[in-house]
Structure formats: C-alpha cells, structure tokens
Amino acid sequence: MTDLAQLELDLINAIGAAESVAAIEEVRVAALGKTGTISALLKGMGAMSPDERRVQGPLLNGLRDRVTQAIAARKAELEDAELDARLLAERIDLTLPSRPRRKGGVHPTMQVMDELIAIFADMGFAVAEGPDIEDDFHNFTALNFPPKHPAREMHDTFFLKPDAETGERKVLRTHTSPVQVRTMLSQKPPIRIVAPGRTFRKDSDATHTPMFHQIEGLVIDRDIHMGHLKSTLQTVVARFFELDDVKARFRPHHFPFTEPSAEMDIRCDRSGGRLALNEGDDWLEILGCGMVHPNVLKNCGIDPDEYQGFAFGMGVDRLAMLKYGVPDLRPMFEADTRWLAHYGFSAFVAPNPASGLS
Ligand code: PHE
C-alpha cells in the first residue's frame, strides 16, 4: 500500500471513530488545517518537478476532496444526533392532567337563580335589575312604608353614613321590591318582570345571614286579579320543584306595598327527619305576595283605576337549601371550596326548561 493510500485509510478510520462535533473538528485540523498532514503534502508540490507534479497533483487533490467530504458528512450526522438528544432532553410534556383542585363550580344559589329565571323567561317575564345601595324613597317611601312606620325597623336595615351636604342616609336594600318602583317609573304597562339580586338585613343565625338573595316578580296590566297571581305562582313553584302540580294555600299576611297580601305555603311532611313536599299535613312557607297597593301605583305614576297588578318575592338561598338538601345557611357564604365541591353544579350545564332544570 502506498503512503497516500495508508494516510487516507487512517483518516477515514479516524473520521468514523469521532463521536462528537468537537472530535471531528480535531480530525479536520490535523488533516486539513494550516499544519495538517494533507496541507503539508499539498505545499510540498511546489518543490516538485513538472512531471512529478502532473502525477502527484490529481492524487493529492483527490485525497483532499474525499477527506473533506467524509468529514462534512460525519459532522452533519453528529450534529443531527446532538440536536435530537437536546430536543429529547428539553421536551415539555403538555399531556399532564390539570390539577383537580382547580375545578370550579356553580354555587347552588346561582344555580337556583338561573333555574327560576329560565322558568320565568319561558312564561314571558323579562329580567330587571337595580342597585344594592338604595335611597329611602325606592326602598321604603314609594313602597307605601309610612314615615316612622315600625315596618322600617322590622327590616333591620343597614344605614350608610349621612351625606355631608344633604344629610340623606342611603340604605343597603332590604328587599328586591325597590326594583318594582324603578321599573314602574321607567316603563309603561303592560309590565312583566322578575328582579333577581342581593339583599341585606342585620340578622344572623342558622336561617338568616346579613346578605342573602331574593327574586322579585311584578305584573302590571288591565284587569289583573288574585287568580292570575295564584295560577302563576303555583305553576312556577311546581316547575321549580319538578312536580306535576303543587298543593298550596295562600295565607293572609301583611306587607305595606300589597293589598291584599299573602304568604304561599306548600303541603309538606316533616316526619322522620326528612322533608317531603305535597305530602302529610304540615305547611312550608315559600314566598310573600299580593296585589300591588294602589298607593304604590300612584307613587310610580300609574293610575290604579286603569291598571292593577300583582307582585311576589322569594328567598333564593332558602329555595336552594330546600331543593338541594343544604342543611345550614351560613356555610353558603363562607367561600369554603370543599363545601362548593360538594354542593356546587357544573358550569357547563345551564338550566333550561326544555332539557331540564337541575
Ligand atoms: N319584599 C317582601 C320581603 O322582602 C316580599 C314581597 C315582595 C312581598 C313582593 C309581596 C310582594 O319580605
């Protein structure tokens, strides 16, 4: 074997044995760098006779080209392998499951609010809203609470600090009834609305919290009477509890803003520590209602000789407790995620009367 053939074999072996980009670079410098073996041979051509050069020239150039090519090929191979290894090491696994504690849920009060709104919307009621901070006029005066009337105290009202200029004391609304007033002042009859929202009273025990939720209803039109009130509420309550019909009574009551006024009770059985609706000989109070008082209509610019109406209000949190078996009211507002995980509803199933409410 000639010296050149031996050199080429050695170099090809060295190239094949190089295991990293750095190692192949060393081989390249040793052969083709300034002082490399092939470079030295090429330089030596200058001292050759023309005849010798004509023979050696193509041999040396061929050797240089083949070695250069082999080095480039091996280098590309090693670079690919290094990139693959890096991609594997730096990979982000996007398939990890999300953390279960991040799961959200719909609060039973909001679930029941949505259920009731769905039922009322189906019966042609629109949704109306009003502010949580009310003035005395909308919360009391327009609703026919006479000044200094004990009913104002009955509501255990939260008063805000008196206004520095006018001395007026705003209140946290004690019921959703001020939304009736706002609606009648801004719309002409016929009116058919429900007003869901937060309400506030100074009260706290197992069945009362200082903040709670009500949904109010108001219907104003010509020739409206108690029969409309009774059938509307019986239909709503039956649909809400998913019963064919509901055994109810309307018991006389007093509210300053309705005349006559009533509370609606449902037949129930409380024996054996459970509550069964439409059974037994007990009664469960469910809501307050009545025919809108003529004074309220007048206060809101509606002629009571031309228009009549009925109104009702119910406690949403209490209805949620009854329907979904929540035993104590207070934890409903403690924002304990364990409580919500147990009593909450999926956010992806909105109640609607066609596909089901609960
Ligand atoms: N506002 C009354 C309450 O909070 C409920 C009610 C509303 C009664 C409308 C009659 C008519 O107790």
In the three-class reduction of DSSP (H, G, I as helix; E, B as strand; rest coil), residue 197 is classed as strand
Nearest-5° Cα angle at 118, 124 to 180? 60
Closest CA to 71 of 142, 115, 22, 12: 12
- Separation of alpha carbons 246 and 241, rounded Å: 9
- Separation of alpha carbons 21 and 74, rounded Å: 9
- Ligand 1 atom closest to Cα of residue 313: 7
Neighbours of 139 (CB within 10 A): 24
- Listed in sequence order, the residues at least 6 apart from 331 whose beta carbon sits closer than 8 Å to its beta carbon are 339
The finding on whether 255 has its CB within 6 A of some atom of ligand 1 is: yes
- Ligand 1 atom closest to Cα of residue 292: 11
Centre of ligand 1 to C-alpha 9, Å, is: 102
The finding on whether 175 has its CB within 6 A of some atom of ligand 1 is: yes
- Which residue minimizes the CA distance to atom 10 of ligand 1? 289
Strand 308-315, strand 211-221: pairing = antiparallel
Cα separations (Å) of 251 from 53, 151, 234?
125, 19, 14
Site to substitute for ligand 1 among 175, 236, 317, most atoms within 8 A of C-beta: 175
Centre of ligand 1 to C-alpha 282, Å, is: 23
Whether residue 252 is preceded by a cis peptide bond, meaning omega within 30 degrees of 0, is no
- Separation of alpha carbons 320 and 340, rounded Å: 13
Centre of ligand 1 to C-alpha 151, Å, is: 12
- Rounded to the nearest 10 degrees, what angle do helices 3-17 and 21-32 cross at? 160
Would you give per-residue pLDDT tens digits along the chain (358 residues)? 578 889 999 999 999 999 999 999 999 999 999 999 999 988 988 898 999 989 888 999 999 999 999 999 999 999 999 999 999 999 888 887 777 665 678 999 999 999 999 999 999 999 999 999 999 999 999 999 988 877 677 668 999 999 999 989 999 999 999 999 999 999 999 999 999 999 999 988 878 899 999 999 999 999 999 999 999 999 999 999 999 999 999 999 999 999 999 999 999 998 888 888 999 999 999 999 999 999 999 999 999 999 999 999 999 999 999 999 898 888 999 988 889 889 998 887 777 777 667 6
In the three-class reduction of DSSP (H, G, I as helix; E, B as strand; rest coil), residue 44 is classed as helix
Centre of ligand 1 to C-alpha 252, Å, is: 13
The finding on whether 288 has its CB within 6 A of some atom of ligand 1 is: yes
- Which residue minimizes the CA distance to atom 4 of ligand 1? 175
Give DSSP secondary structure letters for 224-258.
Answer: --HHHHHHHHHHHHHHHTT-SS--EEEEEEEETTE
Site to substitute for ligand 1 among 144, 174, 177, 318, most atoms within 8 A of C-beta: 177
What is the structure's pLDDT at 1? 59
Closest CA to 117 of 219, 217, 265, 190: 217
Centre of ligand 1 to C-alpha 289, Å, is: 6
The finding on whether 181 has its CB within 6 A of some atom of ligand 1 is: no
**Phi, psi for 265 (deg, rounded to 5):** -115, 150
Centre of ligand 1 to C-alpha 351, Å, is: 25
How crowded is the C-beta side of 86, counted as CA atoms within 13 Å?
Answer: 6
Centre of ligand 1 to C-alpha 206, Å, is: 21
- Ligand 1 atom closest to Cα of residue 177: 1
What is the structure's pLDDT at 204? 83
Centre of ligand 1 to C-alpha 157, Å, is: 15
The finding on whether 143 has its CB within 6 A of some atom of ligand 1 is: no
How crowded is the C-beta side of 19, counted as CA atoms within 13 Å?
Answer: 0
The answer to whether the beta carbons of residues 192 and 126 sit under 8 Å apart is: yes
Q: Which two tokens stand for residue 223?
A: 């020739």
Burial of residue 86 (CB within 10 Å: 0-12, 13-18, 19+) is exposed
- Ligand 1 atom closest to Cα of residue 214: 4
- Separation of alpha carbons 201 and 175, rounded Å: 9
What is the structure's pLDDT at 358? 65
Centre of ligand 1 to C-alpha 110, Å, is: 20
Q: At 116, which amino acid appears?
A: L
**Phi, psi for 28 (deg, rounded to 5):** -65, -45
Cα separations (Å) of 193 from 107, 137, 216, 227?
24, 21, 8, 18
- Which residue minimizes the CA distance to atom 9 of ligand 1? 312
- Ligand 1 atom closest to Cα of residue 218: 9
What is the structure's pLDDT at 352? 76
